[in-house]
Amino acid sequence: MLSVTEYDTIAAISTPPGEGAISIVRMSGENAISIAHQVFQGQDLTKVASHTIHYGHIVDPQTKQTLDEVMVSVMRTPKTFTREDIVEINCHGGIVPTNKILQLLLAHGARMAEPGEFTKRAFLNGRIDLTQAESVMDLIRAKTDRSMQVALNQLDGNLQHLIHHLRQDISDVLVQVEVNIDYPEYDEDEVTAKLLMEKALEVKTRIQQLLATAQQGKILRDGLATAIIGRPNVGKSSLLNYLLQEDKAIVTDVAGTTRDVLEEYVNVQGVPLKLIDTAGIHETDDKVEKIGVERSKKALAGADLIILVLDASEPLTIEDKELLEMTSKQKRIIILNKSDLPQQIKPEQLVASDVIEDPIVASVKDNQGIAAVEQEIKTLFFGGIENRQQDVLVSNNRQIGLLEQAETALDSVVAGLNNNMPIDLVQIDMTTCWEKLGEITGENAPDQLITQLFSQFCLGK
Amino acid sequence: MNLEVKQYDSHEYDVIVVGAGHAGCEAALAAARMGQKTLLLTINLDMVAFMPCNPSVGGPAKGIVVREVDALGGQMAKNIDATYIQMRMLNTSKGPAVRALRAQADKNDYHLVMKDVIENEPMLTLRQGLVNELIVEDGICQGVITATGARYLAKSVVLTAGTSSRGKIIIGELTYSSGPNNSLPSIKLSENLETLGFKLRRFKTGTPPRVDGNTIDYAKTEEQPGDKTPNHFSYETPDTAYLKDQLSCWMTYTNETTHQIIRDNLDRAPMFSGIIEGVGPRYCPSIEDKVVRFADKPRHQLFLEPEGRKTEEYYVGDFSTSMPEEIQLKMLHSVTGLEHAELMRPGYAIEYDIIEPWQLKHSLETKVVKNLFTAGQMNGTSGYEEAAGQGIIAGINAALRAANKAAFTLGRAEAYIGVMIDDLVTKGTNEPYRLLTSRAEYRLILRHDNADLRLTEKGYQLGLISEDRYQNFLIKKQAVDAETKRLQEIRIKPTEKVQAFMMAHHNSPLKDGILASDLIKRPGISYDEIADLVGAEDLQADRYVKEQVEIQLKYAGYIDKERSKVAHLKRLEAKRIPERIDYAAINGLATEARQKLTKIQPETIAQASRISGVNPADVAILSVYIEQGRIAKIG
């Protein structure tokens, strides 16, 4: 199959890796603006003037989840570095939000830029002068060799194996479809819509499982974003201080995801937690009059895990109920704090507020019940994941982007089948899925399907 | 007594075509119709457009090529339309991209009608002659010399020697020098090509035995009749010409006894005894090959195909073999329905020379000798349709060269012919090359129903399409565009009638009005029904227009996806690589890429990126190098 790479839209994080205050995700190519437009909430980027910068949010159009608050620069061809349309998304430092934004762009049709590719395009489009040409070539060669090495090292043997088998499964079906097309008079089994649908859904499930391990892998590396929330004075600070005590803190005082908010990293039973809005916790607890709920709302938007602290020595307030309801769809741990005082809230009472989890009764001040909290964090994170270490296979953005594109192609397969489209058309999307998976492992070879066709079927005069 | 043949100067032509098989006929007709004085030489006048193997034309991918040849003003489609004995549309239950026509031909008629057309083409001379040598001066081909000593001069030459090139027939232990069907082989031309510096290699193909139809027990086989609904290959053949009285084919199977006979005699099978050195096609294996490679298959399908109306010869399809005659007889008689079949001609394998096709440009001109073009089986393909597709391109380019005009090529997104030629010149081939739909990246665009829309304009520009035909084509094109546009503007309201219609088609009722062009995308809804709902304007009842509108609207989503891929490809195709580029001078190319690029000499960046062993980094470096040279020139 043909690889047309020269004119597609490319994307990459263009600031050095690490925890800078600001990271920039850059896209270049004719679809740069339309891709950015799809994930940007703010002004209509397709209509803004060239060389302007715009405030807004990056929002995943599927999940409606807000990923980050950003400034987006739009620069239209030809007066740009690459002489193509360029969009630069200025987002907040951390690796996590930056990667998520990049992945979102990849899922929406951008391709991960090859090493030196922005510079290459700049040259090819006449932006860089002749004296620099040699160095561009050196750069491509050197960076490619190195990144090939890196890519190969990153390609887990298990992942390669898994994808190889996944592709084999798909190509078995593809080849069968091809046989039906090119040799209609032979009595080979016809691939039915039903069979193709089953195959598509099966492959989709397996891709989703791989993507799920990607999520686990990222959390292992980047930390589980955790928000401790609750009304003022319920004991959030004490819990935080406990978690931060001694050598438990890995990193402290890192400029965080929201501009004026701190995040801190702690290790709880092997689970790296990235605590969100720790500043807010102290503030709201210190200044009783501040509205804790409003603050909490913000914090829990970007959280993977919620720790909701309730003061069991007081009856449930409206605010408590509101917090319970707000977090009902998220992974959460509910702590009934202040067990040393007379209890006004019984665990059973929470059922009335539609709480299905068992709350943990604790007295953070006296270190009572905290071990149970830690155990629960561990269970929540690793629960349901067998052999977690071996399962974390997919790690880099390129792999994730390609898996997501493969998944999108499968969605088109399903949509096509639901629309009664002929198998040989639906096959186009199935083949795209197969090719995207092949890009992950570098397995795409010319005439691969045709070779399989003839080795598998007995055909011809 | 061996006397030397004296040479004499014969006539001078613009274009000479050597070989009058399916490639040669198209090449010669195209050159002559483009106004060039053309000579067509063939070893045997009784073998013009001869079908040495299966008596059929078309099928998936191949049938589309036949229509492409027709849209470019070629002859194959018209010739089969005039001589078929059965016509079938294949893949009717599948999508529009893979539907294809196949016809059973009356072999002898096919030959006679083509010969007649050639004889009556004003600028074309048909002559019997065996070409021994090319006249080449300073790397430029100037003409040919025949075995009888005639020297013909020409501005350009097309070689379509097919399996005659040092052909060798093999039947069991018997081998002898021969062209197809015991014709005279061409020995000296191969030697001459090697002397000129061409790299040749040996390929092998084969054909099954023919049996006497009077001795087939048809009752034991399954009948395969032709279609009732009319269809033809040429866009110019009217439905009214459709043949009502068609002949059937018959299907039967091999069995364990057949397989045992084959296994017991493998030591006498040339494929396995080492007599055959040439590489055979995977998609066209001999029956002995099938039995060995697919040992667990209990039976193999066979098709008994009549070779014509005035003959009782039947072609035993899918039973290609080079077993000794004695074994062929036993094998045949073990097959249900063939127990008492009389063998008329034994099957055989044939080995022949091909020119490694990476020595060609997309115009099919050779890189080794200028003004020399090659086409057909000689370029490593197999199949009449593949030959015809190359033949017309070689003929067009030979004519253009004779007239000092720029070359004509087709891209991968324009035609199956383009896919085939690009595959051949970019990748070469390790076996006889057959077109398959899966070789085309954009098969939804390369449909058999739109070959005219894709190529008629080009054929007209080349002077191969008559003014009449072109005007008719424009009328059809306008009708398609107008009707498509009309349906894109009509909004269908959810009236009672419409909702009942939706229900009847198992579709959910409409909530709002919907454009007719969107409604047609719903499952199970055809153009005719939409036209009925919105009221058909004066559509001239042209089924081809209706078909086009329906396909273009119904599958618009998929078509658009392919179009956007094609747009990318076009931009890469536009980046040309200078002809005398020195790959050794480019720093940073990987060694393998350097070797491959030097060998293939790709014409565009797109082609370079398709060469195996040339990776994206090499393509990037090549792009930068070329751009560097371009800037240097301007500066």
pLDDT at position B205 over 80: yes
pLDDT at B473: 96
Q: Across the interface, do B284 and A423 touch by the CB < 8 Å criterion? A: no
Q: Using CA atoms in the order A437, A439, A441, A443, what is the torsion angle rounded to 10 degrees?
A: 100
Give the separation between CA A366 and CA A346, rounded to whole angstroms: 20
Tally the C-alpha atoms within 13 A of residue A173's C-alpha that lie toward its C-beta.
Answer: 28
List beta partners, residue A306.
A227, A332
Per-residue confidence band for B295, with pLDDT thresholds at 50, 70 and 90: confident
Lowest mean pLDDT among A65-79, A383-397, B430-444, B473-487: A383-397
Pairing label, strands B8-18, B150-159:
parallel
Per-residue confidence band for B462, with pLDDT thresholds at 50, 70 and 90: very high
Query: Mean pLDDT score of chain B, rounded to an integer?
Result: 93
Q: What's the average model confidence in pLDDT over B6-10? A: 95
pLDDT at position A64 over 50: yes
pLDDT at B58: 96
pLDDT at B118: 98
pLDDT at B526: 87
Per-residue confidence band for A189, with pLDDT thresholds at 50, 70 and 90: confident
The residue among A208 and B1 whose pLDDT is bigger is A208
Chain B residues touching residue A133 (CB < 8 angstroms): 624-625, 627-628, 631
Q: What's the average model confidence in pLDDT over B615-628? A: 81
Lowest mean pLDDT among B141-145, B310-314, B557-561: B557-561
Q: What's the average model confidence in pLDDT over A128-134? A: 57
Query: Mean pLDDT score of chain A, rounded to an integer?
Result: 76
Percent of chain B at pLDDT > 90 equals 76
Per-residue confidence band for B86, with pLDDT thresholds at 50, 70 and 90: very high
For the entire predicted model, the pTM comes to 0.80
Given the structure tokens 């399989």, which residue do they identify?
A: A452
Q: What's the average model confidence in pLDDT over A299-318? A: 83
pLDDT at A258: 32
A387 part of contact set with chain B, CB < 8 Å: no
Q: What's the average model confidence in pLDDT over B389-399? A: 98
List beta partners, residue B159.
B18, B374
Q: Considering only the beta carbons, identify the residue of A120, A422, A425 that sits closest to B620.
A: A120
Chain B residues touching residue A109 (CB < 8 angstroms): none
Q: What's the average model confidence in pLDDT over A16-43? A: 85
pLDDT at B119: 98
Chain A residues touching residue B627 (CB < 8 angstroms): 123-124, 126, 133
pLDDT at B103: 98
Give me the helix-helix angle, B107-119 and B76-83, nearest 10°.
Answer: 130
Mind listing the pLDDT tens digit for each residue in B26-39? 999 999 999 999 99
- Tell me if residue B119 falls in helix, strand or coil: helix
Mind listing the pLDDT tens digit for each residue in A360-404? 888 888 888 888 888 888 777 665 443 344 444 566 677 788 888
Per-residue confidence band for A273, with pLDDT thresholds at 50, 70 and 90: confident
pLDDT at B523: 82
Per-residue confidence band for A454, with pLDDT thresholds at 50, 70 and 90: low
pLDDT at position A4 over 70: no
CA–CA min distance B284, chain A (Å)? 4
SS3 content of chain A, % helix, strand, coil (to 5): 50, 20, 35
From residue B297, alpha-carbon distances to A399, A457, B293 in Å are 41, 10, 9
The residue among B168 and B284 whose pLDDT is bigger is B168
pLDDT at A349: 75
The residue among A456 and B432 whose pLDDT is bigger is B432
A420 part of contact set with chain B, CB < 8 Å: yes
Of B39, B46, B42, B47, nearest in space to B10 by CA:
B39
Give the separation between CA B333 and CA A336, rounded to whole angstroms: 89
Q: Using CA atoms in the order B125, B129, B133, B136, what is the torsion angle rounded to 10 degrees?
A: -10
Per-residue confidence band for A426, with pLDDT thresholds at 50, 70 and 90: very high
Max mean pLDDT among A84-88, B69-73, B624-628 falls in B69-73
Give the tokens for residue A247.
């050598």
Per-residue confidence band for A209, with pLDDT thresholds at 50, 70 and 90: confident
pLDDT at A461: 47
Give the tokens for residue B412.
């991968």
pLDDT at A289: 39
pLDDT at position B370 over 70: yes
φ/ψ (deg, to 5) at A360: -100, 125
Max mean pLDDT among A120-124, A310-314, B64-68 falls in B64-68
Chain B residues touching residue A5 (CB < 8 angstroms): 609, 616
Of A243, A268, A258, nearest in space to A300 by CA:
A258
Q: What's the average model confidence in pLDDT over B52-80? A: 97
Q: What's the average model confidence in pLDDT over A268-283? A: 66
List beta partners, residue A254.
A263
Given the structure tokens 């026509």, which residue do they identify?
A: B101
Lowest mean pLDDT among A60-74, A255-269, B209-223, B257-271: A255-269
Q: What's the average model confidence in pLDDT over A153-168? A: 76
pLDDT at A252: 33
Give the tokens for residue A115.
């090493």
Which own/partner pairs from A115-119 qualify as long-range (CB within 8 Å, at least 24 positions apart)?
A115/A139, A115/A140, A115/A143, A115/A144, A115/A146, A115/A147, A116/A140, A116/A143, A116/A144, A116/B620, A117/A10, A117/A12, A117/B620, A118/A10, A118/A12, A118/A14, A118/A26, A118/A28, A118/A81, A118/A82
pLDDT at position B426 over 70: yes
DSSP A338-358: -TTSPPS--HHHHHTTT--SP
Of B133, B126, B123, nearest in space to B19 by CA:
B126
Give the separation between CA B416 and CA B433, rounded to whole angstroms: 13
CB contact residues (below 8 A), chain B span 84-123, against chain A: 90-91, 94-98
Per-residue confidence band for A327, with pLDDT thresholds at 50, 70 and 90: confident
Per-residue confidence band for A55, with pLDDT thresholds at 50, 70 and 90: very high
CB contact residues (below 8 A), chain A span 283-342, against chain B: none
Give me the helix-helix angle, B62-71 and B76-83, nearest 10°.
Answer: 110
> What interface predicted TM-score (ipTM) does this complex get?
0.83
Question: In B346-490, where do the E strands start and end?
Answer: 348-355, 372-374
Per-residue confidence band for A3, with pLDDT thresholds at 50, 70 and 90: very low
Q: Considering only the beta carbons, identify the residue of A136, A137, A182 that sits closest to B61.
A: A182
Per-residue confidence band for B633, with pLDDT thresholds at 50, 70 and 90: low
Beta-carbon pairs below 8 A across chains A and B: 162
Lowest mean pLDDT among A273-287, B166-180, B507-521, B565-579: A273-287
Q: What's the average model confidence in pLDDT over B393-416? A: 97
pLDDT at A218: 62
Q: Considering only the beta carbons, identify the residue of B297, B522, B624 that sits closest to A458.
A: B297
pLDDT at position A153 over 60: no
A3 part of contact set with chain B, CB < 8 Å: yes
